[in-house]
Structure 1
Amino acid sequence: MQGFLFLLFFIAIVAAIVYGCIYVTKKRRQDLELVARQLKMDFYPKGDDSIAPMLSNLEFFMYGERCRVSNLIRGQVKSNGQLISVAIFDYRYTICKRRSTEFSVDENSVSISSNEENDTFCQTVLVFYDESIDVPGFSLRPEHLWDKLANFAGYEDINFDRFPAFSKGYRLLSNQVDDVRNLFQPNLIKFYETNKICTEAIGPYLLVYPFPPKYTNSSLTMGDKTFTTSQYLQPKEVKPYFDLGLKLLSLLEKNMSAVRQ
């Protein structure tokens, strides 16, 4: 009898957890659909293949397996007289840290087993497409202690002597160093010192997403890439990040004149 009651209790706990997950997922979807209406954009709870061309041009989306897009907010907005395409969505992906295959042989057969070590990451990202600009490619994220080791391996980031706080706080990488140095005028550096956001940009494409939590143990460094667990934006946070993305686009467009000189 006691064992039966324990089983019922266990089933009740599992059911409560499952119900809680379903409720939270449904509530988030409903709240983000409301945000989409406020932004006068379309909402696709399971994503939409139409954003594939936008994602294929950004290096951020070239890593990982079992990638999943959900709660997609998609539309266009006018900024500085230009029509800009926007995609805001929850992104979940898995990085395989290590794969191994083991063979065991007995008298009658050979057995093969495979093992994987995976980390799963999830975050809300915002992608902007503005065909009026052609930004030199760069990526920007928080700088970590282990980046010092990456510098010794040849992945040295771009620093600015006049802005030590920015240089210490961010890791800025690019294959177009001179152009990116010209792009990062004081107005853009001060923007990043005030607003803690990660960025990748190339040509007309701009990707922004929030800083990872301040204290996190889940991170993975592969070459010059660091994958750090972030978090989904709360629905009320989407609009402020959307506005930051538009402001950043405006600064990039303004600073392109220094790049062209």
Structure 2
Amino acid sequence: MDAVPLIVLGLVIYSVVWIVSFYVRDRRKRAVQAIAETLGFQFLGNGIQHIPLQARELPLFNKGRARRAENVIRGKRSDVDVLIFDYCYRIGRGNNSSTHYQTVITLTSDRLALPRFWLGPENLFHKIGQFFGLHDINFSDYPDFSKRYLLKGEDEAGIRRAFHHSVLLWFEARKSVNTEGVGRSIIYYHLGRNRAPDFWRSHLEEALSLYRQFVK
């Protein structure tokens, strides 16, 4: 009999958590729908299938498990097809598991022809990793870029061509951004950071600014 109150309490707590979670997700969905309308974009809902096939090859979309793309909106800016969405994945198991969220922008254009690359903020673990063979593509004429970012990919010569003067200066002027590219697609995000829908417009403008550097 003593177990009954505990079971009831557990059900009550579960119900409250579910209701709060539903409310938060629904409120964000409505905010994204409103932003989509102001941008002239279409709200597509949820689903990995909305991400371009080539972009799905990139490292972010192959991390962890329980991967989800939510609140996907789609539009066009000049010659660029744009997707903005919330993306999450889970790593670890049991009590050691954690879920990582970020707002991602995907830009796709026929003007892009990029080698596969990954770029993100360089941290202490990366610096230690370089002693054990982790390869970081550095640019001796751009020490701030090389100090601030880890850049990697198999086609080093192609990556060096893609990361010309304008691109390197663009990254030197910013901190803590992540970018991945392959072929006709770039993705742009801040790892582990879901942007509030009110900031999606400025987030998009920043991503388009980077795109313009790559196609110069």
Which TM-score applies when normalising by structure 2? 0.85
In structure 2, C-alpha distance between the alignment counterparts of 1:92 and 1:48, rounded to whole Å: 11
Q: Quote the sequence identity (%).
A: 28
Residue 186 of structure 1, CA deviation: 2.9
Report if the CA contact (8 A) 1:54-1:129 is conserved.
no
Which of structures 1 and 2 has the bigger CA Rg? Answer: 1
Residue 65 of structure 1, CA deviation: 1.5
Q: Are residue 232 (structure 1) and residue 194 (structure 2) matched?
A: yes
In structure 1, C-alpha distance between the alignment counterparts of 2:65 and 2:52, rounded to whole Å: 15
Q: 1:34 is matched by which residue type in structure 2?
A: A
State how 1:188-207 maps to structure 2 within 5 Å: 188-196=167-175, 197-207=177-187
Cross-structure match for 1:102: none
In structure 1, C-alpha distance between the alignment counterparts of 2:82 and 2:124, rounded to whole Å: 34
Cross-structure match for 1:40: 40
The aligned length equals 213
Q: Which runs of 5+ in 1 are unaligned?
A: 98-114, 213-229, 255-261
Q: In the superposition, relative to structure 1, how do residues 12 and 142 fare at CA in structure 2: closer, same or farther (>3 Å)? A: same
Q: In the superposition, relative to structure 1, how do residues 247 and 119 fare at CA in structure 2: closer, same or farther (>3 Å)? A: same
Cross-structure match for 1:59: 59
Secondary structure of 1:53's partner?
coil
Residue 162 of structure 1, CA deviation: 2.6
In structure 1, C-alpha distance between the alignment counterparts of 2:35 and 2:193, rounded to whole Å: 18
Cross-structure match for 2:135: 156
In structure 2, C-alpha distance between the alignment counterparts of 1:30 and 1:84, rounded to whole Å: 25
Cross-structure match for 1:183: 162
Q: 2:40 is matched by which residue type in structure 1?
A: K
Q: 2:86 is matched by which residue type in structure 1?
A: D
Which TM-score applies when normalising by structure 1? 0.71
Residue 240 of structure 1, CA deviation: 1.1
In structure 1, C-alpha distance between the alignment counterparts of 2:41 and 2:54, rounded to whole Å: 17
Cross-structure match for 1:106: none
Moved more, 115-124 or 242-251: 115-124
Residue 185 of structure 1, CA deviation: 2.6
Q: In the superposition, relative to structure 1, how do residues 96 and 6 fare at CA in structure 2: closer, same or farther (>3 Å)? A: closer
Secondary structure of 1:232's partner?
coil
Cross-structure match for 1:105: none
Q: Which runs of 5+ in 2 are unaligned?
A: none
**Aligned residue among 130, 147, 153 for 1:174:** 153
State how 1:69-84 maps to structure 2 within 5 Å: 69-78=69-78, 83-84=79-80
Residue 45 of structure 1, CA deviation: 2.6
Q: Are residue 140 (structure 1) and residue 119 (structure 2) matched?
A: yes
Residue 132 of structure 1, CA deviation: 2.1
Residue 63 of structure 1, CA deviation: 2.7
Report if the CA contact (8 A) 2:84-2:106 is conserved.
yes
Secondary structure of 1:190's partner?
helix
Q: 1:185 is matched by which residue type in structure 2?
A: H
Which structure has greater helix proportion? 2
Q: 1:204 is matched by which residue type in structure 2?
A: R
Residue 11 of structure 1, CA deviation: 7.1
Q: In the superposition, relative to structure 1, how do residues 54 and 240 fare at CA in structure 2: closer, same or farther (>3 Å)? A: farther
Report if the CA contact (8 A) 1:137-1:201 is conserved.
yes
